[in-house]
Structure 1
Amino acid sequence: MEVVKGEVVSFQHVDKVYHSGTVALSQFDLSIADGEFISFLGPSGCGKSTALRMVAGLGEATNGRVKVFNQSPKDVIKHSNDIAYVFQEANLLPWRTVLDNVLLPLEIRGINKEKRKECAVEVLEMVGLKDYLHAYPRQLSGGMKMRVSIARALAAKPKLLLMDEPFAALDEMTRQTLQMDLLQIW
């Protein structure tokens, strides 16, 4: 398979077999171009999370190749902030405020204090949480926690945002609201 201009992600004949013998992916081929918004649909256990984890560099193919920006995912992660991942659960640090949770990846990257706060406040406003900067995760609803998680991912200004069923544990109304909000942010 040749590289397509503007290709962001490619799976080329990817197999993933876990040590237990479970086949998660078999001869999986996919090309995702710049600007596309892709959703993986399928039953539990069909390989959706496995594919996302491979793109994020959190797992490797048994056979075949996964490329992100025409590099291995691990090389992309090692040399840039171009990939952000939102997990199924918010995974917020309970001892840090909303603002401090969003600041964390920016702190780790060594961005200066003033710039990282400006960026964090901007993305928290984008997800509708500007009034909750000093709240702690225990003070937030499930939907608000996911918004913080999304803001944390967006703060790094990634070129590729991966989301692994971030709204699955939410009620239907909250899920629909967050899905519409995400489309507006995109």
Structure 2
Amino acid sequence: MENIVLIIVLLFCLYTDVKSRRILNIITLPTILIGLTYYFFTQGFEGFLYSGKGLLVGLSLLIIPYLLGGMGAGDVKLMAAIGALMGTSFVFYSFIYTALIGGVIALLLIIKQRGFINSIKSLFFNVVFFRSSLGSMILPNGDKKSSISFPYGVAIVLGALSCLVWGGF
């Protein structure tokens, strides 16, 4: 049952994030409540704790990037909803898949915008001269207009689906 709810929630969030770059509370908050109540009624207080721990782990994995301005609150709530619905180990492995997929998407977008040769030159310069931040690859000369962003909900959805299909490591 929880797998079906997860897939439906992920597909709705994927659609809204791609279309409007928003993950809606009307999807994530009821999902959190569904997870908490489902596990409470099927497994009692232990089930409620199982779901609650998943919620807290999902929330804690993305709260720092959110507080630093790296992503929206909807992304954080989606990861918390995944945790409430699927538990701690699932949300943790989903996060790892999400980070890997998000990194690949970001790298492809950097290469697309700056060109392959410029990206390699910039990476080489940063590595050779021990620059403390590779951020100049994304924000050259601090120019916010040339920054690269993408709806991170896409990576979260793909990460959760990957975990659903392949499981943990």
TM-score over 0.5 for the pair? no
Q: Which structure carries more relative contact order (alpha carbon 8 Å, separation 6+)?
A: 2
The TM-score with structure 2 as length reference comes to: 0.31
Higher strand proportion (structure 1 or 2): 1
Higher helix proportion (structure 1 or 2): 2
